Amino acid sequence: MGIRFNSRDKKPKVWNIAILSIIAVILVAILARDPDHIPLLTLNIIIVIHLILTLVFLIIAFFHQLQYNPYSYNSIYYAGFTLFLLTVLITHIVAMIRMLRFPNVYDLSSVLSALVSSARNYMLLSAPFVLVFSVALFISNISLLKHEGKRFHNFLGMILAVLMVAGEVFLFFADYYVSGSYLEIMIHSILINLFASFYLYFESMVIGSIIINAIVAKYEPEKEMDYILILGCSLRRDGTPTPLLAGRIDRALGFYRKQIEETGKVPYLIPSGGQGNDERHSESEAMAEYLLAKGVPEEHILKEDQSRNTYENMQFSKEIIDARQKDAKVAFSTTNYHVFRSGIYARRAKMKALGMGASTKWYFWPNAAVREFVGVLKYHKVKQALILIGMIVIYTGLTILAYH
């Protein structure tokens, strides 16, 4: 990827999207009040232009966010909603082409129906992905439970897989056939559209998590680092690194050697990890011994042996770095599915560190997306509430407008 992380000082803003959306909704509402004097094609063109501009602003915000801070839940929002808006745009472009070909068939309700049905259409279009992802998620959870044990968070993937498929099935049967009075049908449509909009929101967050996890895991930092952190994990019974931990060490070691070869600059390696209750010595000590056995000089290794989790890995390593050098360039090595979450912890410890991912078993990947999705739910409650309230207002208003 040609984008360079941490190369932008200003955080991207998306107020332009909010302002653009408000203007578009007001404009559509005004034009819809006098459909006899406003060509429907004009109305649809306005909607298409709005969607294109919104998509452009979202894509720009996404890339600027990667340059400013890739390890942010904002990246998930931008990626997820870009895909949703793309499906809405395609829907309206198709409708516009049909209007040009069959101008007598379409009326105002057709235009509004395309808007109102955007969430439902997204669910139907994404149904194959949902099915494939849910099956993969369920199967990967079985493998994860076998290897990692029956802890609650290891069941989250199964729960989400069932809920995603159940949501698609519910929409299909709930919207298949409706009868009743005009008011009852309108209320039913409002409820279905709200359900679909809520579903698409959470699905967009899952897809956005997959996208950003893949991007940050494949990113290769510039060969200009002063320090390389190696994030620890559990050891074998004999006190040596597990294959998972060895992968992290080898990834850091490969970068260390390549940087020296290409630039001549020697970075310090910081194996970070304390001693667990069932471990013979600290994870840091085990990693240091591994590095020494691979030919790394002892003076290039700075051990951090007090941390108990990823956040403390970052916090205590930062203390070591700050005591030696200010404004140091830092990278960290961890397993590929763990890069995004580790980057978030680095930022919370006020350290601008860039991650590099070591390859691992396939069954960790779907569950990594689930963890980031849960992280969105946990840490961005106000932002989510505002988005969901906005969806309720927009879809309810458009549905009522379509039925009048």
pLDDT recorded at residue 373: 74
Measure the CA–CA gap between 250 and 108, rounded to whole angstroms.
62
pLDDT recorded at residue 124: 81
- Is 346 within 8 Å of 216 (Cβ atoms)? no
pLDDT recorded at residue 161: 87
pLDDT digits (tens, 9 = 90+) for 129-160: 888 888 888 887 887 777 666 766 667 778 88
CA distance to 61, 97, 113, per residue, from 91 (Å): 23, 10, 11
Q: What confidence tier does 71 reach under pLDDT thresholds 50, 70, 90? A: very high
User: In whole angstroms, what separates CA 316 from the centre of its chain?
Assistant: 27
Q: Which domains does the chain have, with CATH numbers?
A: 15-219+367-402 (no CATH), 227-328 (3.40.50.620)
Q: Between vectors from CA 250 to CA 324 and to CA 340, what angle results, nearest 5°? A: 75
pLDDT recorded at residue 38: 59
* pTM (2 d.p.): 0.83
For the chain, how big is the Rg over CA atoms in Å? 25
Nearest CA to 371 among 313, 329, 317, 310? 310
Quickly tell me which residue has 């600059």 as its tokens: 265
Query: Which residue type, as a one-letter code, is found at position 183?
Result: L
Query: Which residue type, as a one-letter code, is found at position 248?
Result: R
pLDDT digits (tens, 9 = 90+) for 242-294: 888 999 999 999 999 999 999 999 999 999 998 877 767 889 999 999 999 99
pLDDT recorded at residue 319: 95
Quickly tell me which residue has 């279009």 as its tokens: 125
β-pair type (268-272, 353-358): unpaired
Q: Is 272 helix (H, G, I), strand (E, B) or coil?
A: strand
Measure the CA–CA gap between 395 and 243, rounded to whole angstroms.
50
* Length in residues, the chain: 404
Q: What is the largest CA-CA distance in the chain?
A: 82
Question: Beta-carbon neighbour count of residue 256 at 10 Å?
Answer: 24
DSSP per-residue letters across 64-122: HHHHH-SSSHHHHHHHHHHHHHHHHHHHHHHHHHHHHH-TTT--HHHHHHHHHTHHHHH
Quickly tell me which residue has 């209320």 as its tokens: 187
pLDDT recorded at residue 378: 75
Task: Answer whether residue 35 shows pLDDT above 60.
Answer: no
Q: Once rounded to an integer, what is the mean pLDDT over residues 39-46?
A: 73
Measure the CA–CA gap between 28 and 48, rounded to whole angstroms.
12
pLDDT digits (tens, 9 = 90+) for 198-220: 888 888 888 888 889 889 989 99
- Is 299 within 8 Å of 195 (Cβ atoms)? no
pLDDT recorded at residue 100: 77
Average pLDDT, the chain: 84
Give helix then strand counts, H and E, for the chain.
Answer: 13, 4
Measure the CA–CA gap between 61 and 223, rounded to whole angstroms.
27
- Is 177 within 8 Å of 337 (Cβ atoms)? no
Q: Between vectors from CA 372 to CA 367 and to CA 374, what angle results, nearest 5°? A: 90
- Bridge partners of 270? 229
Handedness of CA 63, 65, 71, 73 (dihedral sign): negative
- Is 136 within 8 Å of 366 (Cβ atoms)? yes
pLDDT recorded at residue 37: 56
Buried b (16+ CB within 10 A) or exposed e, 164-194: bbebbeebeeebeeeeeeeeeebebbbebbb
pLDDT recorded at residue 233: 84
Strand spans (E) along 172-300: 227-231, 268-272
pLDDT digits (tens, 9 = 90+) for 215-226: 998 999 999 999
pLDDT digits (tens, 9 = 90+) for 105-129: 666 666 677 777 778 888 888 888 8
pLDDT recorded at residue 287: 94
Task: Answer whether residue 326 shows pLDDT above 80.
Answer: yes
Sheet with 227-231, edge to edge strand ranges: 268-272, 227-231, 330-335, 353-358
Residues 6+ apart with CB under 8 A from 211: 76, 79, 80
Measure the CA–CA gap between 252 and 170, rounded to whole angstroms.
47
Task: Answer whether residue 53 shows pLDDT above 60.
Answer: yes
Quickly tell me which residue has 């232009």 as its tokens: 49
